[in-house]
Amino acid sequence: MDPQIKIPLITNIQRYSLDDGPGIRTVIFMKGCPLHCPWCHNPENISPKMGLYFHEDKCERCERCAAVCPEKAITLPGADGSPPIRDRDKCTQCMQCALACPAGALEQVGEVLTIEEIIREAISDMPFYRKSGGGVTISGGEPLLFPEFTLELAQELKKKVIHVAVETSGFGSWEHLSQIATYADMFLYDIKHMNSLKHQAFVGVPNNIIHDNLRKLVKLGKKVIVRVPVIPGFNNEKHNFEMMAEFLRTLDGPVQAVDLLPFHNFGEAKYKQLDKDYNYKGRPNMEKEEVVQFSEILQNVIRTTIGGVTIQ
């Protein structure tokens, strides 16, 4: 990532979420992540730069996108009715095509929002937070990639007496994570694999920083839910979960629960819209029964759920 990028683009402010912390929540999705998980169901949030969706079903083949593109990166629709094709190598994502598209077939992914604008959106659901014990979840991408912004956002939310949860891969500096932890009520913390070499081979970074940060975080006494995506061909191995159970057992503080998240392909359409390759194309969703054996291993050490945990 460009070290000059300090303020994240926001791809979505999702209201009425029930899956990202206790109660009814508003989830703030930041754009940019140092990990590159090939199964990611929010691939639009991996790159910190502006993105572009192409919704082929909306395209009217009007050719306006090709006409305005300064880089000549868009090939005109074919006579057979095929859609225009964007050359990824030429495209600078200037968004002129999206602005010119009358049908909304080309959609800008990511916008600059101030913290004040985010807070204004978040407090509109304050009655729901109060009634349900909910709040705001800061998500990504990876919030630790934008530590100053995330810290200030958490501070402003706490001034409004709003419960703050942070979804994180844990890959970032402890200095930044500990500062954010001062204002966060809960962390939803991903653990993906216990073997660092395999972790790096699949997602692009080793796991030592992630595991070290989790040790320090639970030692602070913070509420932590560990979440583990169970991915075919990556971490769905008995030995991996035996090592994970031992790791969790040796932490210097309690983790509230572990939630196993069986692989699903719900994000496949996004890869097509972003003109990105999807490594799991055509692979069926994992069934709950396929991960029960891993749940039983972890259950000996800590409360473990599959596909969702009731959070207090």
Model confidence band, residue 309 (pLDDT cutoffs 50, 70, 90): low
In the chain, ranges of CATH 3.30.70.20 domains: 51-109
Range(s) of the chain covered by CATH 3.20.20.70: 9-48+113-306
Which helix (H) or strand (E) is 165 found in, with range?
strand 163-168
Quote the pTM value: 0.93
How far is the C-alpha of 166 from the C-alpha of 151, rounded, in Å? Answer: 11
Residue 253, pLDDT score: 87
Tell me the fold of 9-48+113-306. TIM Barrel (3.20.20)
∠ CA 43-49-55, nearest 5°, is: 55
- Looking at the chain, the number of H-run helices and the number of E-run strands are 11, 12
Eight-class DSSP state of 251:
-
Instruction: Place 5 in a pLDDT band, splitting at 50, 70 and 90.
Output: low
Residue 70 token pair:
């300064």
46: Cα separation from own chain's centroid: 8
What is the Cα–Cα distance from 201 to 231, expressed in whole angstroms?
A: 14
| DSSP assignments along 58-73, one per residue | G-----HHHHH-TT--
pLDDT of 272 strictly over 60: yes
In Å, how far are 70, 169, 170, 191, 298 from 196, measured between CA atoms?
Answer: 44, 14, 14, 11, 20
HEC string for 248-262? HHCCCCCCCEEEEEE
3-state secondary structure of 181: helix
Other C-beta atoms lying within 10 Å of the C-beta of residue 152: 14
What percentage of the chain reaches a pLDDT higher than 90?
A: 90
Answer CATH for 51-109 from 3.40.50.1860, 3.20.20.140, 3.30.70.20, 3.30.1330.10: 3.30.70.20
| Helix, strand, coil percentages for the chain (3-state, nearest 5) | 35, 20, 45
- Looking at residue 283, its pLDDT comes to 93
pLDDT digits over 139-154, tens only?
Answer: 999 999 999 999 999 9
Which conformational region is residue 74 in: left (phi greater than 0), alpha (psi within -120 to 50 degrees), or beta? beta
